[in-house]
Amino acid sequence: MVIVIAIVAGIYIAYPPGTNTVTSTINNTVVQTSINTVTSTNTVTSTTTSVSISTTATPTYQPLTLQSGGSTFVNPIMQVWASGFKDYTSGAVQDNYQALGSSAGITGVLKGVFDYAGSDAPPSSSVTANYTAKNEPLLVIPETLGAVAIFYNVPGVTASLNLTGPIIAKIYLEKITMWNDPAIQALNPKVNLPANTIIPVHRSDGSGTTYALTNYFTKVSTDWNATGNGFGTTVSWPAAGELGAKGSAGVAADVSQNPNAIGYADSYYAFSNKLTMAAVQNAAGVFEVPSLAGVTAAAAAFTAQVQANPTTPITNPPASANTAYPISTYTYLLVYQNQSNQGKGNDIAQLFWWIVTHGQAYGPPLYYPALPSTVVTIDENLIAKMNYNGTPFIQA
Amino acid sequence: MGRRRSAADSGFKYLTVGLASSVLVIALIYFYELYTGSLPTLRTGLAFVFGSTWDPVNSHFGVFPMLYGSLLTSAIALVIGVPISLGVAIFLSELSPGRLRSPISFVVEMLAAVPSVIYGLWGLFILAPILRADVYPYLEEYLGFLPIFQGTIYGVSILTAGIILAIMIIPIIASISRDALLAVPDSQREAALALGATKSEAIRMSVLSYARSGIVASIFLGFGRAFGETMAVVMLIGNTPVVSASLFSPGYSLASLIANEYTEATTAVYTSALIEAGLVLLLVSFLANVVARLMISRLIRSREAASYL
């Protein structure tokens, strides 16, 4: 009995139901004057469009702490954004983002535990359709970008190797098993590749990196498609001779400890640990190592598709984007379109608006590529759909 | 006075009944939740337990390699851990000088308080590289005629996970066995010694056999810990769903499967499959406990029968 009470109390403390203890709203002194400077903070190659937010009134914030969670990949930037937005609202709105995994975030939003979630892979279309049918539509909003970096531990090789998508897929399918395979050697004529067996290392835990990489495989590799493995946060890899490791750090440990291993990690991990990354050939035939500009370019190439469907994967961009890194991916914010609490809904909408505009400038120093300005506009239109009883919080 | 005492007594009785039944209720709720949560995949029946394909994209779920990995790593942990634990327990209860007893007990019990993620990280970054470079090659060279020591050496493997689990279960088995040995009445030891037994014979014949049920119980508690261990195993087992005779091969375990995939399982049937993996885990531990109980009660009965002779 006591145990039950203790557990209930623990859950209550961890997830307080709502944050209704503070009910007063305050007029915030921060005025949204810098709206038109927003686009200049985006380090983007594509054309600059003017942001069409017509809000000139001072937004009000309800002082509260948002409960949110999800993707571990975005956790570093989320914490920075949370503190940035807290400053922006003069301390009124705090955000408690918990890095519990994308699925935990999605489930948290659907069950009302979280006010919003961060998710690397978008929720399945059946889930979103189901909630739309229930008249509780979900908004999936691209918030920032990432890439999947390929890295390796080949004795004697310090250079950045050139690889193609089909070759990487063949390595993971164990159809290419040796480092000196003619296909790899042909792309790296100056590198002395050893005749050693490749040990592929994949993520054992469900991950947005696996989602993006396998999505890329489905677009470029006939070998991969022949297996019917599809794409997802966890897929069926060939079992023999491969290792699965938990987290990017786990993959990096397995790769560094096993000579001749190859692995993949998210760009944040790869950049911040200064891994030597493979250059992957994009559709234009250019070999690109992961870079912030390369990822933004890949995203910009999919503007029209993302306009139509925000969850469109952005792997393998068309040849017109000749500087794009081909294994790039969005991560998303997930929130109910119709909010049931006016003050809190407004805070969430304001936070989202701040993230996709002002917040983007915080990204590149932390190795998160900035959204293309075209996508910022798409996001603003999505955020403008958030409403309380039909009244939107932000005018697009 | 009498009435007050009886009121206090019955109040105390109801309190303990309530506390005792709360454990039962939690266990029942736990079982019920696992059962209902896994209904969508439970329909696939035994194919789930004996299938060996784990393909969430196409919703094919079979956990045999994970079940195999869980059982094998736990077995390795027992093979390595039980002799060490019993040695520690016998030394502490029978042979140790009094002033060594409490420092050693303290250290053994402290090992139980180390969080499993620490064991996992230590295993991944320190133990696994040492085993890969300095231990496994010799095992392969000298014992490579055995199929269990053949194949590619990776560092992270079934054997590495088993070794870490052995370290993790030593404190449990050692401290409970020590308590069981200390509970053996001195008359047992004296009787054996009086009959001319040496010290080691006395320990083997009268002390160990008297404490047998407690020792068996401690071993099964250790098994339960090893079988359900998650974090350390995730980091060291290699997370590859394969059934291989070689202990150098990477493997997978039920608990690490759930830990790995639950956070990103986005479809209902996928979540259900993971919950069913938890159900399998629970049922196997339950089965192991039942077997342990039966073994203990049989041991006690045979000893009682012997004492009447």
- Residue among B58, B252, B266 minimizing CB distance to A123: B266
Q: Flag whether A322 is in a domain.
A: no
> Can you give the pLDDT at residue B307?
54
What residues of chain A lie within 8 A of the CB of B62, using their CB? none
- Over residues B173-181, mean pLDDT: 92
Chain A segment 212-271 residues within 8 A of B by beta carbon are 228-237, 239-246, 250, 253-254, 257-258
Closest chain A residue to B129 measured between Cα atoms?
A257
CB contact under 8 A, A103 and B235: no
Domains in chain B: how many in total? 1
Q: Flag whether B266 is in a domain.
A: no
Q: Flag whether B237 is in a domain.
A: yes
Q: Flag whether B15 is in a domain.
A: no
CATH number for the domain that contains residue A221: 3.40.190.10
- Over residues A234-263, mean pLDDT: 89
The answer to whether residue A325 scores a pLDDT higher than 70 is yes
The DSSP bridge pattern shows strands A116-119 and A64-70 to be: parallel
Q: Flag whether B143 is in a domain.
A: yes
Closest chain A residue to B270 measured between Cα atoms?
A234
CB contact under 8 A, B155 and A258: yes
The answer to whether residue A26 scores a pLDDT higher than 60 is no
Q: What is the pLDDT of residues B181-216, one digit of tens each?
A: 998 888 888 888 898 888 888 888 888 888 888 898
State the smallest CA–CA distance between residue B260 and chain A in angstroms.
4
Q: Flag whether A324 is in a domain.
A: no
**Residue A77 shares a structural domain with residue A180:** no
Q: What is the pLDDT of residues B90-138, one digit of tens each?
A: 999 988 888 888 898 889 888 888 999 999 999 988 999 999 889 999 9
The answer to whether residue A175 scores a pLDDT higher than 80 is yes
Q: What is the mean pLDDT of chain B?
A: 88
The answer to whether residue A53 scores a pLDDT higher than 70 is no
Whether residue A377 contacts residue A303, with contact meaning beta carbons closer than 8 Å, is answered with no
State the smallest CA–CA distance between residue B129 and chain A in angstroms.
6
The answer to whether residue A334 scores a pLDDT higher than 90 is yes
Interface test with A, best of B264, B270, B271 (most A CBs within 10 A): B264
Among the listed residues A77, A92, A85, the one whose alpha carbon sits nearest the alpha carbon of residue A27: A92
Q: Flag whether A319 is in a domain.
A: no
**Residue A56 shares a structural domain with residue A44:** yes
- Over residues B46-58, mean pLDDT: 87
Closest chain A residue to B22 measured between Cα atoms?
A1
> CB distance from B259 to chain A under 8 Å?
yes
Chain B segment 35-94 residues within 8 A of A by beta carbon are 53-58, 60, 65
Give the confidence band of B302 by pLDDT, cuts at 50, 70, 90. Answer: low
What residues of chain A lie within 8 A of the CB of B61, using their CB? none
CB contact under 8 A, B238 and A124: no
The answer to whether residue A198 scores a pLDDT higher than 80 is yes
Q: Flag whether B171 is in a domain.
A: yes
First to last CA, chain A: 53
The answer to whether residue A133 scores a pLDDT higher than 60 is yes
CB contact under 8 A, A239 and B241: yes
Give the confidence band of B4 by pLDDT, cuts at 50, 70, 90. Answer: low
Closest chain B residue to A3 measured between Cα atoms?
B22
> Can you give the pLDDT at residue A233?
85
Cβ-based contacts under 8 A for chains A and B: 130
**Residue A167 shares a structural domain with residue A289:** yes
**Residue A7 shares a structural domain with residue A119:** yes
ipTM over 0.90: no
> Can you give the pLDDT at residue A37?
36
d(CA B230, CA B236): 10
CB contact under 8 A, A205 and B22: no
CB contact under 8 A, B264 and A100: no
Give the confidence band of A57 by pLDDT, cuts at 50, 70, 90. Answer: low
Q: What is the pLDDT of residues B207-258, one digit of tens each?
A: 888 888 889 889 988 998 999 999 899 999 989 888 988 999 999 999 999 9
**Residue A19 shares a structural domain with residue A131:** yes
Q: What's the domain range around A165?
A: 147-308
Q: What's the domain range around B145?
A: 65-261+283-306
> Can you give the pLDDT at residue A25?
36
**Residue A29 shares a structural domain with residue A126:** yes
**Residue A18 shares a structural domain with residue A151:** no
**Residue A263 shares a structural domain with residue A372:** no
> Can you give the pLDDT at residue B46?
85
**Residue A84 shares a structural domain with residue A159:** no
Q: Output the 3-class SS for chain B.
A: CHHHHHHHHHHHHHHHHHHHHHHHHHHHHHHHHHHHHCHHHHCCCHHHHHCCCEECCCCEECCHHHHHHHHHHHHHHHHHHHHHHHHHHHHHHHHCCHHHHHHHHHHHHHHHCCCHHHHHHHHHHHHHHHHHHHHHHHHHHHHCCCHHHCCCCCCCCHHHHHHHHHHHHHHHHHHHHHHHHHCCCHHHHHHHHHCCCCHHHHHHHHHHHHCHHHHHHHHHHHHHHHHHCCHHHHHHCCCCCCCCCCCCCCCCCHHHHHHHHHHHCCCHHHHHHHHHHHHHHHHHHHHHHHHHHHHHHHHHHHHHHHHHC
Q: Among A29-43, A379-393, B147-161, B196-210, where is mean pLDDT lowest?
A: A29-43
Query: Which amino acid belongs to residue B223?
Result: F
Q: Flag whether A328 is in a domain.
A: no
**Residue A300 shares a structural domain with residue A168:** yes
**Residue A278 shares a structural domain with residue A345:** no
Q: Flag whether A321 is in a domain.
A: no
The answer to whether residue A226 scores a pLDDT higher than 80 is yes
**Residue A296 shares a structural domain with residue A164:** yes
Chain A segment 104-143 residues within 8 A of B by beta carbon are 104, 106, 120-121, 123-124, 126-127
Give the confidence band of A223 by pLDDT, cuts at 50, 70, 90. Answer: very high
CATH number for the domain that contains residue B245: 1.10.3720.10
- Over residues A333-346, mean pLDDT: 90
Domains in chain A: how many in total? 2
Q: What is the pLDDT of residues B152-167, one digit of tens each?
A: 888 899 999 999 999 9
